[in-house]
Amino acid sequence: MRKHLILSLTLLVILVTAIAAGAADKSSATSKQYHRTHGDIASIDTAGKTFTVKHGNDTSTFGVDDSTKFRGAGKEITFADLQVGDDVRVSFTEDGTTKTAARVDVAHTKKPHS
């Protein structure tokens, strides 16, 4: 009888631990970690729906999707409104090496060449 009780308690502890681990995996998989960066747009690939931002010596390429929000001059804009040279602030998520822009704010439009 005592062996059955110990075995049952051991199985209960294992089951509770497995459920807790599964819940932790689900919550980390569904929550997105947002990051931010800023800089000037160095290039735009309209066919691939990506743009590259240069900040100092670093460059980062961001993809966009249907949920990406764009703002400039206090109003909503579109991906097509972005221009090389625009000073932008980008909020994005990462999945491995893939960065997807969630929001792009144009702080200053294209810098004029002198």
For the domain 34-108, what is the CATH superfamily, name and number? Copper binding periplasmic protein CusF (2.40.50.320)
* pLDDT grade for 106, boundaries at 50, 70 and 90: very high
Element (DSSP H or E) covering residue 18: helix 2-30
- % pLDDT > 90, the chain: 63
60-95 confidence digits (pLDDT tens): 999 999 999 999 988 999 999 999 999 999 999 999
Residue 112 predicted with pLDDT over 70:
no
Q: To the nearest whole number, what is the mean pLDDT of the chain?
A: 85
Residue 111 predicted with pLDDT over 70:
no
- CA–CA separation, 55 vs 78, rounded Å? 22
Nearest to 86 by CA among 101, 102, 73, 99: 73
